[in-house]
Structure 1
Amino acid sequence: MVKLIALYRHPEDPAAFDKHYQEVHTPLVEKMPGLKKLEVTRMKGAPTGGEAKYYLEAAMYFENEESLQAAMNSPEGRASAKDLMGFAGPLVTMMIGEVAQVAEIHG
């Protein structure tokens, strides 16, 4: 499994960012073909105290790199990318990761 990761730095207007992210951007992302799971994390702070370097992280999971590339090149993927650059281009860092281990610890 692979994931496309988006890390967002703190926006100038968090309320406007959140509104656009939830009402416009997320529905576009959810339409990407082959998307298995979307996980969005709002940062609460740093382990040592204080503000986290990033505001938000989104992880989009795909079966393999081929399905990720197909999704990114689809009309839905291009629409999502165009929207991303329009509302958060200067704030976002994108990367692709291969999921190496998943452990569910019960205790």
Structure 2
Amino acid sequence: MIKMIALYKQPENKEVFDEHYFNVHAPITAKIPGLRKMKVTKIVGTPMGKESEYYLMCEMYYDSHEAFKEAMKTDEAKASGKDLMGFAGKLVTLMIGEEIDG
């Protein structure tokens, strides 16, 4: 299984970010064909008790690299990407990961 990971830095206005992320962006993203699971983690701090430079992480799971590539060609994925760049383009880093058992 592979996943796309979206890691967001701290937004200037967390309430505005959360409103858009949870009520607009996440529902758009959830409609992407082939998306098996979406997990969102709010970063609450560092092990040293400080505020993290990161605010939120979203993991979007797909069956395979091929399934992911096909999903990214869809209108739903394009809508998600367009929305992402519009509200969090300067905050987000996107990565592709492959889960390893063990």
Q: By the TM > 0.5 criterion, same fold?
A: yes
The question of 1:39 aligning with 2:39 is answered: yes
User: Separation in 2 of the partners of 1:101 and 1:16?
Assistant: 37
In structure 2, the residue matched to 1:20 is 20
Give the AA of the match of 1:82: K
Structure 2: segments with no counterpart, 5+ residues: none
The question of 1:63 aligning with 2:42 is answered: no
State percent identity of aligned pairs: 51
| Matched positions, count | 102
User: Separation in 2 of the partners of 1:40 and 1:69?
Assistant: 21
Give the AA of the match of 1:46: T
Give the AA of the match of 2:62: F
Question: Any runs of at least 4 consecutive aligned residues in structure 1 with deviations exceeding 3 A, and if so which?
Answer: none
What is the alpha-carbon root mean square deviation over aligned residues? 0.8
Structure 1: segments with no counterpart, 5+ residues: 103-107
